[in-house]
Amino acid sequence: MALYAVGDFHLSLSGEKPMDIFGDRWADHTGKIKESFSMLNSDDVCVLCGDLSWAMSLDGAEEDFRFINDLPGKKIILKGNHDYWWTTASKMNAFFRKNRFDTISILNNNSFPYGDKAVCGTRGWFFEEETGSPHDRKMILREAGRLRRSLDSAGNAEKLVFLHYPPLFQSYICREMTDLLREYEVRLCCYGHIHGSSCKAAFNGWNGGTEYKLVSADWLGFKPLKIAE
């Protein structure tokens, strides 16, 4: 049993959103994902850090979720900025039950135990989204609230945090997120969202007692990163 993380599958199995237009690295990326997940066992857990499907609705995302569900191991999903299909937890859980997608769980105002640790997280927010506007501030505070609820739900377990947006990027720091990580003594934070040449500018390392890891699929070569045994 092991815990993994990867983000940004950007699936479009029933649509027309080819990813290879973003470079050779994305050619046959679904095949690469399937091959890399073949190394996982049925009791392994993988956190998928957002931007899972280009679909605009749950029904439109059915084939993408079938692909995700059929990958080995259990998957914990969180929202990314391109996950327009995302709706309420009750509607998503009903959709998963209807389609017998029984290997997928939703990380949203909650947490999941993993041994003596807990998987916590939320989407987060980022400076590129209407920097400084009232809407921007509202969203940052909303996401910070969701992260706090997730962390609180984990009790005394060691907390591992998974986000979509990076809390740190070049000179940008999302204090609302990093302050929470420091308050709850979170030692690991994984995030996605960053792609291509921008990955070289992403922060990977320690800051304020927390280790940050970029887990975007193209950065990892479409191979989930092992987080814990």
- Residues contacting 131, CB < 8 A, separation 6+: none
Exposure on the CB side of residue 12, measured as CA atoms within 13 A: 14
Amino acid at 175: R
pLDDT mean across residues, the chain: 93
Give dist(CA 112, CA 57) in Å, integer. Answer: 26
Average pLDDT over residues 179-203: 96
pLDDT at 126: 78
Residue 96, pLDDT above cutoff 90: yes
* Domain spans in the chain, listed from the N-terminal domain onward: 3-228
Neighbour count for residue 65 (Cβ, 10 Å): 24
Percent of the chain whose pLDDT exceeds 70: 94
pLDDT at 148: 98
Average pLDDT over residues 49-60: 96
DSSP single-letter state for residue 224:
P
pLDDT-derived band at 131, boundaries 50, 70, 90 = low
Percent of the chain whose pLDDT exceeds 90: 84
Give dist(CA 184, CA 219) in Å, integer. Answer: 28
Residue 21, pLDDT above cutoff 70: no
Residue 16, pLDDT above cutoff 80: no
Average pLDDT over residues 132-140: 81
Beta strands in 9-137 (DSSP E): 45-48, 74-77, 104-106, 112-114, 117-122
Q: With H, G, I as helix, E, B as strand and everything else as coil, classify residue 148.
A: helix
pLDDT at 127: 64
pLDDT at 20: 61
Residue-wise pLDDT for 197-214, tens only, equals 999 999 999 999 999 999
At the top level of CATH, which class does the domain 3-228 belong to? alpha beta
More confident of the two residues 26 and 109: 109
Residue-wise pLDDT for 100-120, tens only, equals 999 999 999 999 999 999 999
Average pLDDT over residues 171-176: 90
pLDDT-derived band at 17, boundaries 50, 70, 90 = confident
Give dist(CA 177, CA 179) in Å, integer. Answer: 5
CB 136 within 8 A of CB 172: no
- For the entire predicted model, the pTM comes to 0.95
Residue 130, pLDDT above cutoff 70: no
pLDDT-derived band at 150, boundaries 50, 70, 90 = very high
Residue 160, pLDDT above cutoff 80: yes
Give dist(CA 100, CA 146) in Å, integer. Answer: 28
CB 64 within 8 A of CB 52: yes
- Per the listing, tokens 């807990």 go with 118
pLDDT at 26: 87
Give dist(CA 205, CA 67) in Å, integer. Answer: 32
CB 192 within 8 A of CB 167: no
Tell me what percent of the chain is helix, strand and coil, each rounded to the nearest 5. Answer: 30, 25, 45
pLDDT-derived band at 128, boundaries 50, 70, 90 = low
